[in-house]
Amino acid sequence: MSSEVNESTPWHRKFTSVPDDDVRKTTGYSYAPATARDGGDWRFQVAEFAKGAAEMSVEFGKGVRDVLKQSILRDDSVIMRKFVPPCAKILRRLRFLNQYLPEDRDPVLAWSVIACVCFFAIAAVIINTNQTTPPLVKNMKIHPTSASIILLPDARRLAYQEQGVRADQARYSMILPHSFLSSRLAGIPGIKGSLLEEFGVRLVTYDLPGFGESDPHPDRDLESSAMDMLHLSYAVNFTGKFWVVGYSGGSMHAWAALRYIPDRLAGAIMVAPMVNPYEPRLTKEERRAIWGKWTTEKRMMYFLARKFPKLLAYLYRRSFLSGNHGQIDTWLSFSLGKRDRALIEDQIFKEFWQRDVEESVRQANVKPFIEEAVLQVSDWGFSVADLKAHTRYNRGKGILLWLKSFYSRKEEILNGFLGPIHIWQGAEDKLIPPSMSDFVHRVLPDVMLHKLPYEGHFTYFYFCDECHRQMFTIVYGNPQGPLAPNVDNITIKDDAEENAQRRGGNKEQSWIEKPDSNRSERPSKSHSTSVGSSNPTTEAVTDRLNALSFTERNKQPNGSLPSVQFGSIHVPVQGQEAVWKPKSYGTVSGAKPVEVDKAPVNQTVGLGYATQTASDGKQNAALSKLFGGSLLENFTVDNSTYSSAQVRATFYPKFENEKSDQEVRTRMIEMVSKGLATLEVSLKHSGSLFMYAGHEGGAYAKNSYGNVYTAVGVFVLGRVFHEAWGSQASKKQAEFNEFLELNRMCISMELVTAVLGDHGQRPREDYVVVTAVTELGVGKPRFYSTPDIIAFCRKWRLPTNHVWLFSTRKSVMSFFAAYDALCEEGTATPVSKALDEVADISVPASKDHVKVQGEILEGLVARMVSHESSIHMEQVLRDYPPAPSEGADHQLGPSLREICAANRTDEKQQIKALLESVGTSFCPNYLDWFGNEASDSHSRNADRSVLSKFLQAHPADFSTMKLQVGCFLIQLIY
């Protein structure tokens, strides 16, 4: 038994061994068919299962029929009693239709077939599965094309429209992507051209892909939308940064621009901005407040767009793609407040809305509208919270970079959008609930949220002149009008007449006589007096100088020039065009008057660099008489002692911050954000101030001239010309000096050399960098702007500094963030690299700071300049490209360090060797450094003594006091 029990025989073998012929004969089934035994064909199993299910269904149907016959279809049932007689009556009346049926057809079967066909025909009419859109009929019209077209890099056409001022007069530029079921024609609805012109605004609106006259995009997303905006800004010649405007659903594309092209944006203006309703950072309360404001139909539309977007085609074709105009709230499935309802019932709004919709559905293509709806609720690829400014550390990828980050300095990258973002949100808005703007303000605390208590979705943005003005005033400040045409043009003229016109045309500043009826005329005599005595000549000079005032007059033709004679000195007054030379007037006890100078009045002598010619012998002899013997010892100063001079060195006025650094920083950011100014930053080189006014105007350094600093500066400047111009250096040096003299200019430079000491790191090369250019003109000097300096230097191939311009709030805040991070231990390379990344415009220096001076950076110089400086700089960079160095490979002779090392024991010999190496173009004589040794001329100490004594006087009249102040400046230069 045990063996039989343990024996494992397959169950199908047992069944196959039992003959059952009766079963096979009656049913035709076999429990072991050949296909099953050979391999278990699954198709056979499926077929058998289907047959069994069909038989069961037939039997189930028969059972249901029997139940109906026994319960419902009985003659005594309630249904049969109520419905059979009326139906029989109707069938008897319709029996005449049977004559139209074929004679060999059962009427019941025929009418059943006809009923089924009618049912499916009606269903096909109701549910149109054809993807082609029916033609637009009834009220909707197709208008002629009117848009401007640009061709994008992917060969798509983009339609746009411009409003406001011209491109060359635009103070602010704006791009506006339209909302759902809209077009470029919407823009800012109802905005007046006079308002755009008043604020100098240029507004550009465009059709989204597939809307209006723009071609569809095959793979559309928010990043491609931002790229379209970027290409459009370049195509319409937005040279600077522009503002992006987002309204309702169009704000989705504005958020994308802030995310993907932040460097091109100056800021954002949002009105009722939309965020993704499925944003994961929404809290439960925010999500409940947003979805609770929407109607059931609106929630269903968002659900379909997210889960079943293809079903939207049926709904859209029954609404705005049907060819008929309708109500906006019905089409877009949302409710309206009282003020919004009143606005959309207005005839002006209806006409504007209908025209905008007609342009939006011009192509009768449902796909762009489905794409737009899907973009609103799908993953944007970023979150609005990502726009918050934050610092990210770039550690790179890989195990080695990860390990290196633990012991090396982390590379900081500033992410997010730093520009201003303004949001206007109506409290009665039911389409874009206020909770969306509250969410944006929560994740972006720097956003400026303007809540409108009684406004809806349309009332603040559509046809509201006061609302539009209020928005522009908040964003742009007070209206300043459009820019003047061609404001960025720059010209540097070589002709003397043109330079004279640039300094004021035919008008110049001069001293003229004040009218004074009470002052009596006094005779003028020529003789000297004792100390403290008064004479008519002195009084005449004093009165004459008191009568001088500074004003503007038209240039007089050559003619008689009135003057006041003091001794043998003629003092030029009103109408005289001569340039004064330094003269000294003194009162000497017991001495005869001495003729100090007999040079012509039209001969120019720049103070600090006394130009000497072949006719200077008489002057030197006269000076010898003045300062020779015991004359200087007996020199005294009284109220009648006068001196006149001309200073050819000019300085920027020094200043101290009146407020704290944080207040100054805040003020800078505010001015740049409002478009009132631009922040300019440059490198501070570790050198000495060196000024050059031409070979006749003088060289100045260390508040003096004729010293080793000026000699080194002239040598280095001459070497710059040799490196830049090569074989043409001598010719260009002469032209440069002539240009400076003709235009009365002074060049300020930072002189960096190893022979004059260093500030912590020995410079690797000896060089100069131009920091200021001044036209002295007649009267107040005119300092060149930085773009003018760069244009001037590139014309003459002079070295320029590294300059960065920050013209937006984002870039300015980035600069200060970089400064805070690098101010303690930043060196030249990381500082320059950081500023290059965040600056709006970066102009590299002619000489790399690291190569010529080293990594140690003395500091940065930041100042506020004109708001148009960026435009001016871009124009200069286009018109004046960097020139090549033609003398880089030429033999330049001994270097500065070699000359100074060979003559280190004698400073005078050092100066002489440097000047000999420069040549006659920059140093025609050595009088400025050594005087006239052959004629035994006076020393500089003698002049300094005279001026020192003069400055000790206490003048009684205002004219002498002004002269004393001027002489104090003279002493500084000496």
**How many CA within 13 A on the CB side of residue 242?**
26
Angle made by CA atoms 104, 106, 109, in degrees to the nearest 5? 135
Q: Which residues of 697-733 are buried (b: 16+ CB within 10 A; e: fewer)?
A: bbbbbeebbbbbbbbbbbbbbbbbbbbbbbeebbebb
Determine the angle formed by the axes of helices 536-546 and 958-973, rounding to 10 degrees: 80
Rounded Cα gap, residues 520 and 544, in angstroms:
11
pLDDT level of residue 546 (50, 70, 90 thresholds)? very low
Residue 184 DSSP SS3: coil
Report whether 601 contacts 569 (CB < 8 A).
no
**How many CA within 13 A on the CB side of residue 356?**
23
- How does pLDDT run across 480-519, given as a tens digit for each residue? 999 987 544 433 334 434 444 433 443 333 344 434 444 3
Residue 372 confidence (pLDDT): 95
Q: Which CA distances in Å does 43 have to 24, 51, 56, 207, 752?
A: 22, 12, 20, 57, 95
Question: 308, 311, 331: which is closest to 321 by C-alpha?
Answer: 331
Residue 819 confidence (pLDDT): 84
Q: Which CA distances in Å does 545 have to 512, 646, 962, 963?
A: 10, 17, 11, 10
Residue 82 DSSP SS3: helix
Token pair listed for 531: 């100390």
Residue 349 confidence (pLDDT): 93
**140 DSSP 8-state letter:** -
Q: What are phi and psi of 814, to 5 degrees?
A: -65, -40
With residue 768 as reference, give the H or E element that holds it. strand 767-775
Q: What is the mean pLDDT of the chain?
A: 75
Average pLDDT over residues 874-882: 90
pLDDT level of residue 405 (50, 70, 90 thresholds)? low
Residues 6+ apart with CB under 8 A from 468: 188, 190, 191, 192, 195
Q: Percentage of the chain with pLDDT > 90?
A: 34
Instruction: Answer whether residue 973 shows pLDDT above 50.
Output: no
Report whether 716 contacts 751 (CB < 8 A).
yes
Residue 957 confidence (pLDDT): 45
Average pLDDT over residues 774-795: 85
Question: 271, 280, 210, 249: which is closest to 375 by C-alpha?
Answer: 249
**How many CA within 13 A on the CB side of residue 521?**
3
Residue 524 confidence (pLDDT): 37
Residue 289 confidence (pLDDT): 93
- How does pLDDT run across 650-678, given as a tens digit for each residue? 666 555 555 567 778 888 888 888 888 99
Average pLDDT over residues 911-917: 84
Q: Which of 160-169, 656-665, 816-825, 965-974 has the highest mean pLDDT?
A: 160-169
What does the chain come to in residues?
Answer: 974
Rounded Cα gap, residues 315 and 312, in angstroms:
5
Average pLDDT over residues 854-873: 88
Determine the angle formed by the axes of helices 940-951 and 958-973, rounding to 10 degrees: 150
Token pair listed for 743: 């235009």
More confident residue, 748 or 532: 748
Determine the angle formed by the axes of helices 222-235 and 251-260, rounding to 10 degrees: 80
Average pLDDT over residues 391-412: 57
* Largest Cα span, the chain: 169
Residue listed under structure tokens 């001027």 = 966
Lowest-confidence segment of 336-340, 539-543, 636-640 by average pLDDT: 539-543
Token pair listed for 636: 């005294």
With residue 411 as reference, give the H or E element that holds it. strand 411-415
Q: Which of 77-81, 250-254, 878-882 has the highest mean pLDDT?
A: 250-254
Report whether 959 contacts 546 (CB < 8 A).
yes
Q: Which residues of 777-787 are buried (b: 16+ CB within 10 A; e: fewer)?
A: bbeeebbbbbb
Task: Tally Cβ neighbours within 10 Å of residue 453.
Answer: 7
Lowest-confidence segment of 164-168, 236-240, 636-640 by average pLDDT: 636-640
Q: What are phi and psi of 752, to 5 degrees?
A: -115, 115
Q: Which CA distances in Å does 940 have to 629, 852, 932?
A: 16, 36, 11
Question: 305, 290, 429: which is closest to 371 by C-alpha?
Answer: 305
Report whether 773 contacts 745 (CB < 8 A).
yes
Average pLDDT over residues 85-92: 84
Residue listed under structure tokens 């899907």 = 374
**How many CA within 13 A on the CB side of residue 517?**
0
More confident residue, 411 or 103: 103
Residue 741 confidence (pLDDT): 86
Report whether 746 contacts 692 (CB < 8 A).
yes
- How does pLDDT run across 12-70, given as a tens digit for each residue? 444 444 444 444 444 444 444 444 444 457 888 888 999 999 999 999 988 888 888 88
Question: 871, 670, 198: which is closest to 480 by C-alpha?
Answer: 198
Residue 109 confidence (pLDDT): 80
Report whether 319 contacts 479 (CB < 8 A).
no
More confident residue, 574 or 178: 178
Kindly report whether the global pTM for this prediction surpasses the value 0.85.
no
Token pair listed for 578: 């001569």
Report whether 30 contacts 24 (CB < 8 A).
yes
Number of helices (H), then strands (E), belonging to the chain: the values are 36, 27
Rounded Cα gap, residues 849 and 708, in angstroms:
25
Average pLDDT over residues 242-260: 96
Angle made by CA atoms 52, 58, 63, in degrees to the nearest 5? 125
Token pair listed for 155: 């060969």
Rounded Cα gap, residues 290 and 736, in angstroms:
71
| CA 680 to the chain's CA centroid | 13
Lowest-confidence segment of 220-229, 392-401, 431-440, 524-533 by average pLDDT: 524-533
Average pLDDT over residues 260-266: 93
Lowest-confidence segment of 326-330, 599-603, 768-772, 835-839 by average pLDDT: 599-603
| Beta-strand pair 507-513/635-636 | unpaired
Determine the angle formed by the axes of helices 708-725 and 729-743, rounding to 10 degrees: 120
Q: Would you call 753 exposed, middle or buried from its count of C-beta atoms within 10 A (0-12, 13-18, 19+)?
A: buried
More confident residue, 814 or 776: 814
Rounded Cα gap, residues 900 and 918, in angstroms:
14
Rounded Cα gap, residues 692 and 747, in angstroms:
5
- How does pLDDT run across 151-168, given as a tens digit for each residue? 998 999 999 999 999 999
Residue 342 DSSP SS3: helix
